[in-house]
Amino acid sequence: MALAHVASMRSEDPYRKVGAAALDFDNRVIGTAYNGLAPGFNAPEGFWDDREARQKFMLHAEVNLCSLFRRGEAKLVATTTMPCTACMQTLCAYGIREIYYRDVYHSSDAPEIARLYGVRLERVDFTPFDGGPIPAAP
Ligand SMILES: [Zn+2]
Protein backbone atom coordinates (compact mmCIF):
# COMPACT_ATOMS: atom_id res chain seq x y z
CA MET A 1 0.00 0.00 0.00
CA ALA A 2 2.96 2.29 0.60
CA LEU A 3 4.03 1.71 -3.00
CA ALA A 4 0.50 2.37 -4.24
CA HIS A 5 0.39 5.58 -2.22
CA VAL A 6 3.69 6.82 -3.61
CA ALA A 7 2.51 5.98 -7.15
CA SER A 8 -0.66 8.02 -6.55
CA MET A 9 1.47 11.09 -5.85
CA ARG A 10 2.56 11.04 -9.52
CA SER A 11 -0.99 11.49 -10.82
CA GLU A 12 -1.59 14.81 -12.56
CA ASP A 13 -5.29 14.71 -11.76
CA PRO A 14 -5.92 17.53 -9.29
CA TYR A 15 -9.20 16.02 -8.05
CA ARG A 16 -8.54 12.30 -7.58
CA LYS A 17 -5.12 10.69 -7.33
CA VAL A 18 -5.17 6.89 -7.36
CA GLY A 19 -2.13 4.64 -7.20
CA ALA A 20 -1.74 0.88 -7.51
CA ALA A 21 0.99 -1.73 -7.15
CA ALA A 22 1.15 -5.37 -8.23
CA LEU A 23 3.04 -8.33 -6.78
CA ASP A 24 3.77 -11.61 -8.52
CA PHE A 25 3.49 -15.09 -7.00
CA ASP A 26 6.93 -14.70 -5.36
CA ASN A 27 5.80 -11.39 -3.77
CA ARG A 28 8.07 -9.41 -6.04
CA VAL A 29 6.89 -6.00 -7.20
CA ILE A 30 5.89 -6.20 -10.87
CA GLY A 31 5.00 -2.57 -11.22
CA THR A 32 3.25 0.52 -9.96
CA ALA A 33 0.83 2.82 -11.77
CA TYR A 34 -1.50 5.76 -11.29
CA ASN A 35 -4.49 7.35 -13.00
CA GLY A 36 -3.62 9.55 -15.91
CA LEU A 37 -3.63 10.10 -19.64
CA ALA A 38 -2.43 7.72 -22.33
CA PRO A 39 1.37 7.50 -22.60
CA GLY A 40 2.88 10.28 -24.67
CA PHE A 41 -0.24 12.47 -24.65
CA ASN A 42 0.31 15.99 -23.46
CA ALA A 43 -2.79 17.65 -22.05
CA PRO A 44 -3.76 20.88 -23.81
CA GLU A 45 -4.18 24.13 -21.90
CA GLY A 46 -7.18 24.02 -19.57
CA PHE A 47 -7.57 20.25 -19.76
CA TRP A 48 -7.33 19.79 -15.99
CA ASP A 49 -9.85 22.53 -15.22
CA ASP A 50 -13.02 20.58 -16.09
CA ARG A 51 -13.34 17.36 -14.12
CA GLU A 52 -16.55 16.21 -15.84
CA ALA A 53 -15.16 16.76 -19.34
CA ARG A 54 -11.88 14.96 -18.75
CA GLN A 55 -13.24 11.93 -16.86
CA LYS A 56 -13.81 9.77 -19.93
CA PHE A 57 -10.20 10.28 -21.05
CA MET A 58 -8.59 9.31 -17.78
CA LEU A 59 -7.03 5.85 -17.68
CA HIS A 60 -7.56 4.37 -14.26
CA ALA A 61 -4.57 3.26 -12.18
CA GLU A 62 -5.60 -0.40 -12.32
CA VAL A 63 -5.83 -0.39 -16.12
CA ASN A 64 -2.43 1.27 -16.40
CA LEU A 65 -1.11 -1.30 -13.92
CA CYS A 66 -2.44 -4.24 -15.95
CA SER A 67 -0.63 -2.88 -19.02
CA LEU A 68 2.63 -3.80 -17.23
CA PHE A 69 2.13 -7.56 -17.07
CA ARG A 70 0.42 -10.49 -18.77
CA ARG A 71 -2.58 -12.44 -17.52
CA GLY A 72 -1.65 -14.82 -14.72
CA GLU A 73 1.63 -13.08 -13.83
CA ALA A 74 0.31 -11.01 -10.92
CA LYS A 75 -1.20 -12.42 -7.76
CA LEU A 76 -1.93 -9.35 -5.68
CA VAL A 77 -2.86 -5.74 -6.30
CA ALA A 78 -2.87 -2.94 -3.76
CA THR A 79 -4.75 0.18 -4.75
CA THR A 80 -5.37 3.39 -2.84
CA THR A 81 -9.08 3.38 -3.80
CA MET A 82 -11.41 0.41 -4.19
CA PRO A 83 -11.51 -0.52 -7.90
CA CYS A 84 -14.49 0.77 -9.87
CA THR A 85 -16.70 -1.84 -11.52
CA ALA A 86 -14.82 -1.75 -14.85
CA CYS A 87 -11.40 -1.99 -13.17
CA MET A 88 -12.59 -4.86 -10.98
CA GLN A 89 -13.64 -6.69 -14.13
CA THR A 90 -10.23 -5.97 -15.67
CA LEU A 91 -8.38 -7.23 -12.58
CA CYS A 92 -10.45 -10.43 -12.68
CA ALA A 93 -9.64 -10.87 -16.38
CA TYR A 94 -5.93 -10.63 -15.50
CA GLY A 95 -6.32 -13.36 -12.89
CA ILE A 96 -5.61 -11.25 -9.79
CA ARG A 97 -6.42 -13.28 -6.66
CA GLU A 98 -6.07 -10.68 -3.90
CA ILE A 99 -6.92 -6.99 -3.93
CA TYR A 100 -6.31 -4.62 -1.05
CA TYR A 101 -7.59 -1.05 -1.04
CA ARG A 102 -7.49 1.88 1.37
CA ASP A 103 -10.41 4.16 0.45
CA VAL A 104 -13.96 2.93 -0.08
CA TYR A 105 -15.62 3.71 -3.41
CA HIS A 106 -19.34 3.42 -2.80
CA SER A 107 -20.63 3.32 -6.35
CA SER A 108 -18.48 0.31 -7.24
CA ASP A 109 -19.78 -3.23 -7.72
CA ALA A 110 -16.32 -4.58 -6.84
CA PRO A 111 -17.44 -6.39 -3.64
CA GLU A 112 -20.17 -8.28 -5.51
CA ILE A 113 -17.81 -9.18 -8.38
CA ALA A 114 -15.14 -10.35 -5.91
CA ARG A 115 -17.65 -12.59 -4.13
CA LEU A 116 -18.80 -14.22 -7.35
CA TYR A 117 -15.29 -14.94 -8.63
CA GLY A 118 -13.81 -15.84 -5.24
CA VAL A 119 -11.32 -12.97 -5.27
CA ARG A 120 -10.14 -11.65 -1.93
CA LEU A 121 -11.08 -7.95 -1.68
CA GLU A 122 -10.12 -6.31 1.58
CA ARG A 123 -9.89 -2.83 2.99
CA VAL A 124 -6.67 -2.01 4.81
CA ASP A 125 -5.68 0.98 6.86
CA PHE A 126 -2.61 2.85 5.78
CA THR A 127 -1.16 6.00 7.25
CA PRO A 128 1.29 7.28 4.68
CA PHE A 129 4.01 9.07 6.55
CA ASP A 130 3.21 9.76 10.14
CA GLY A 131 6.58 10.54 11.61
CA GLY A 132 7.52 13.83 9.98
CA PRO A 133 10.66 14.25 7.92
CA ILE A 134 12.97 11.28 7.63
CA PRO A 135 16.41 12.31 8.91
CA ALA A 136 19.28 11.94 6.50
CA ALA A 137 21.86 9.33 7.37
CA PRO A 138 24.90 10.83 9.12
ZN1 LIG B 1 -11.46 2.13 -12.39
109 alpha carbon – ligand 1 mean position (Å): 11
134 alpha carbon – ligand 1 mean position (Å): 33
Domain containing 78 equals: 2-123
110 alpha carbon – ligand 1 mean position (Å): 10
pLDDT tens for residues 42-70?
Answer: 988 999 998 889 999 999 999 999 999 99
| CATH at residue 22 | 3.40.140.10
In a domain? residue 64: yes
In a domain? residue 46: yes
pLDDT for res 134: 65
Around ion ligand 1, residues with a beta carbon closer than 5 Å are 60, 84, 87
Question: Sign of the CA dihedral 104, 108, 114, 119?
Answer: negative
58 alpha carbon – ligand 1 mean position (Å): 9
Low-confidence stretches of the chain (pLDDT < 50) are none
In a domain? residue 129: no
In a domain? residue 133: no
In a domain? residue 86: yes
pLDDT for res 26: 97
Q: Could you tell me the end-to-end alpha-carbon distance of the chain, in angstroms, rounded to an integer?
A: 29
pLDDT for res 136: 76
Q: Residue 70: helix, strand or coil by DSSP? A: coil
